[in-house]
Every structure is written in C-alpha cells, then in structure tokens.
Chain A
Amino acid sequence: MASWLQRLFLKALVLTALFGPAVALAQEDDPLEPIVGADIERRHIDEDMLDTENFEVGGYVGVLGIEDFGSNTVLGLSLAYHINEDFFVETIYGSSEAQKTSYELLSGAVELLTDDERDYSYYSLAVGYKVFPGQVFMSRNLAFNTHFYLTAGVGNTEFAANRYATYSLGAGYKIYLTDMFAVDIGMRDHLFSHELFGESRQTNNFEGRIGLSVFF
C-alpha cells in the first residue's frame, strides 16, 4: 500500500504530463522486454517490495457525557499507526453538542451558553498499548482475531468558544473481521478544567463508542 500511495503522491506532485508518454514509449520500444521479462523471477527480494499495512483509519459513533451539560451523540474519526505488535499511536477527532445544564432547565430563563457555544469538538494524540491478544469463535470454523488496548493521550477540546488542553484515557476491544477491517468497541475519558461557572473545575467527560476501521 505504502508504495502505491507514494507513487500517487509523487504523481500528483510532478503531474507527469510530459514525462509520461516518454517513459511509456521507451518501455514499449524495448524489443527485449518480453524475453528479458522472465528474469524478473530471479530478482532479489527487498522489504520495500512488500505491501505494508501499518496505518489504520476509522470512524466511530457513540455517546459523550459532557459533565454538567448532559450527554449527546458523538461522531468521530481516527487515524492510527501501528509501530510494532505492542504499541500504536492514534489521533482522534470527535464532535458533539452540549445540552442545557440542570440549572438552566430549572431556572427557565437563564442561558449560560449560546447555541454556537454548545458545539463541542475535541482531538487527541495518544499512545496505545495492545494487550490480551486472542481469538473469538463465531462457529466451529470461524474465528476472529481480537485484542484489548489501552490509550493515554493529550489534545484540545473546543467548547464554549474556548480551547481547553485535554488529557484522555481510554480502553477498548478490537475484533478483526478480516486482516483489513476491524470493529472497535471502546471508551474514552476526556479530562479538562474550565471556569464556566466562575471557579476552575476539573471535568471528566466519558464517551462510549463503537467504530469500524480499515488498515492500509
């Protein structure tokens, strides 16, 4: 994968417009091509010739409980890179919306935030550790690879027209339907402090989610 993606990038960069035909013609003109072609069987194998699948891109949907502001649906995207069989790094971006606080509901007229200020989004860069690898058996002859994982990360939350430095902790369970596709059931806790109620307050914002990811 890495190699064709690379080619695609380079191709877009250089925009091979005038190079293309020249290269192609040179290849077509070579009368030895079909005869020498057999030699390819004796080539030396190098790791770069092998497709790599270390990146993982995914989407998820879940429920995010925003402390004091109710809970709402959260939608997110994730991109991960698998360093080795134990560790990975992950960036996630999610967005949701805050509801009214109990105080706003009880008092009736008070509005702490405008509608725009209730938009809630976060992103995080995390390091993950894969634990308990194994298999689940769906039937006698069908088994899926699985593992649990733990993550710890740092990022930002945009909420109430402000940006808050945010720490996040997470855990999840991943089921590989094939080598390329995986279902991810997980939870995250996003921690940050704000001063919306006057004094600084540390909040825990828990999220439960389910997602699907593709390796490339």
Chain B
Amino acid sequence: MVKRVTFKPAPAHAWTLLWLLLAGWSLPASAGWFDDEPPLVVTVNNAYIDVYTGPGRGYPVFHALENGEPITLLKSRAGWIKIATERGLEGWVKRDDMQYTLGPDGLAPDFIDEYRSDAVVGRFEVGAALGDFGGADSVGLSLGYRFTRNFTIEADYSQQAGRYSDSEVAVVGLLHQPFPEWRVSPFLRIGGGTIKVSPSATLVDTEDREDPVLQASLGTYVYLSRRFFMRVEYRNHHLLTTRENNEEVSEWRVGFNAFF
C-alpha cells in the first residue's frame, strides 16, 4: 500500500519533467535561437570604399562603393568584411573602412580593437601551446571558459616526448587575471590532475606509472588581435608519487589562444 502511494506521483512527475524538457528545447528554438537575424545594413559615408575580390590586400579591387550607398554586412574574416550591395554584388572591404559607414542609428558601427580580457566574459577560449617540460618537448591543447572579468576555468591536456620517457598530463585549472583590462595582462593559475609516465621502450623496460599532479603557474596574456592572444607561462608541476620522494618539474610554455 505504502509503496503504491509513494510511487504513484513519480511517473506523473517524470512525464511533466520530460514534457518541460521537450518544451524547453523546442520553444526557445522557435523564439529565435536559430532564426536568421535581420540583415546588418550600413550606408557609405565617404567618397568611396574599395571592394576587393578576396579577404586580403593583394586581391584585386573590382568595384568602388559610392557615398550614400546602402550595403549589407555578411560576415567577417581575418580583418576583412564581406558585403553585398543592393544590386547583389558581393565582395570584401577592409574592416578599418567600417569607420566610413553609418549604421541605422546614424552612428558609425563599433569596430574597435579592444585587446582586453574583460571584453570577452562568457566566452570560450581554445588554444594550443608548446613548451619545455624539464628538458622534454611538450605540446598541449586547452579549452577554457571565462565566467567573470577575472576568472577562467580551463581543461588542459599535453603530451611530452623526452629522451628517456614520454608522458601525458591532463589537468583542470583555475586562472586569475588581476588586470583583465590590460593588453599585456598577467595571470596566476593553479591546477590539478594526473600525469602518466611511460619510459621509452627502446631504452629501459619498466612499467608505466600514473600519479596525481598539482600545478602552479605564473604567466601573461599578450593580445595580438581582438579575439586572439599569445600566452607565455612558467608552470611548476608537483608530482605526488607513490615512491619515497615527490617530484617537481618546471615547464616553460608559449601558446596561442582564440576566443569564440
């Protein structure tokens, strides 16, 4: 009896939850998650703007936009904007030329170089790095999420190829930038994870070992463009081994990261 009473509401609740999940998934989609946004139309506010066949200064100029001509902005790539004219002609203009246009509100659109970390809160960053891991060559990938002006949480995986052993390090880290508004912005980072060491097969024949590892790093972001930066870092690894002594390894690394 008791069982029946207590279990009966559960399936009903589950169905409600399932329905809510489905509704939650489909409703926002119809409310604009994947809808086409209205086109971005600006008017030319200069004697002319050159239109190139491709996104680069070396491609030929094949058209000139006239003063007062409305153009639609389609997409951007590597410092160039793809546009379409009212007559359907498509081409590329320099991103810097956006300052010679006016938006629907009568102001020039914001195409400014911010070069700062606090402008990208709520974004993911993906990057790759090279380093010197206590004499071994290290290559790594990282994925981070900036959840406040100052903090980024990140997952990091790297592989090392050394003379006597190879290793793999997988860690989760928390990174703090005290001055996110600076173009060259220093950071502190702590992390923890595991390290797997495999001695080289051609030299010695011992077993692989896997140990926890703690990391502390000091480094800096150097913004190279609005969404792209270089990261230079000194990282100290503390290996918590099962043997008598713990090990420490120092690593220098340089990486490139992009926000998306």
Contact = CB atoms under 8 A, between A and B. Distances in A.
A163 B77 contact: no
A19 to B, nearest CB: 7
Nearest to A52: B76
Interface residues on B, range: 35 or more
A89 B256 contact: yes
Interface in B216-247: 224-228
A11 B25 CA distance: 9
Contacts of A91: 128, 141
B170 to A, nearest CB: 16
A139 interface: no
Given A45-B42, A54-B77, A54-B258, A135 B24 contact: no
Interface residues of A, number: 68
A85 B55 contact: yes
A179 B80 CA distance: 12
Contacts of A145: 53-54, 59
Contact of B103 (A5, A18, A45, A82): A45
B105 A24 contact: no
A20 B59 contact: no
Query: Helix, strand, loop or mixed for chain B's interface?
Result: mixed
A5 B20 CA distance: 24
B75 interface: yes
Identify which of B53, B201, B225 gathers the most chain A CB atoms within 10 Å of its CB.
Answer: B53
Contacts of B40: 45, 49-50
A85 B124 CA distance: 23
Interface of A: 1-2, 4-7, 9-11, 16-21, 23-25, 27-28, 40-47, 49-55, 81-85, 88-89, 91, 123, 125, 127, 130, 132-135, 143, 145, 147, 154-156, 160-165, 176, 179, 195-196, 215
- The 5 A-B residue pairs whose C-beta atoms are closest, nearest first, are A20-B24, A133-B58, A165-B137, A45-B109, A24-B27
20 contacts: A6-B124, A7-B33, A10-B122, A20-B23, A21-B23, A45-B105, A46-B110, A47-B111, A47-B226, A49-B40, A50-B73, A53-B77, A85-B56, A125-B139, A133-B58, A133-B59, A143-B53, A162-B201, A163-B161, A176-B54
